[in-house]
């Protein structure tokens, strides 16, 4: 499966906003996640204090390279390895996705139109599926 052209266009178009507001979005995403899904807090026990900054950078890189994911293959591999190390499971992805999309709405307000939210929802779960598949391979050999 591939991302729609509309999603690619919207995500690439929002990359400058993510550079400016990414840290606020990811900080809010973690607040949403831990408030609505407190069981996920244990997954981040060893996370560095600047985890939201690292995630913001990853999201910006994803937006900028969404049409050429091969550029991000090493980053995706590293993320999958960290997820296996911290016991992230497929069922956690929807929790993070809902929390992230809500944070985008909260931080960007009216700029986060339905089209923007739908594009980022498609993009998030597309990448989530890639990570879940990679993590499944890693769990199998662990």
| 93 belongs to the catalytic site | yes
CB-CB contact of 31 with 62 (8 Å): no
Residue among 21, 23, 62, 135 flagged as catalytic: 135
Residue among 93, 118, 121, 139 flagged as catalytic: 93
- CA nearest neighbour of 104 among 14, 38, 9: 14
Contacts of 125 (CB under 8 A, 6+ apart): 93, 97
Active-site residues, by number, are: 93, 135
């Amino acid at each position: 499966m591939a991302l729609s052209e509309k999603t690619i266009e919207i995500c690439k178009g929002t990359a400058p906003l993510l550079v400016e507001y990414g840290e606020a979005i990811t900080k809010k995403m973690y607040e949403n996640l831990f408030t609505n899904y407190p069981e996920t807090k244990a997954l981040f026990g060893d996370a560095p204090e600047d985890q939201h900054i690292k995630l913001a950078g990853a999201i910006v890189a994803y937006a900028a390279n969404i049409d050429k994911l091969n550029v991000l293959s090493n980053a995706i591999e590293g993320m999958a390895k960290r997820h296996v190390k911290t016991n992230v499971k497929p069922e956690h992805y929807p929790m993070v996705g809902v929390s992230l999309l809500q944070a985008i709405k909260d931080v960007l307000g009216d700029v986060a139109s339905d089209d923007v939210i739908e594009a980022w929802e498609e993009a998030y779960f597309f990448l989530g599926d890639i990570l879940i598949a990679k993590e499944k391979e890693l769990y199998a050999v662990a």
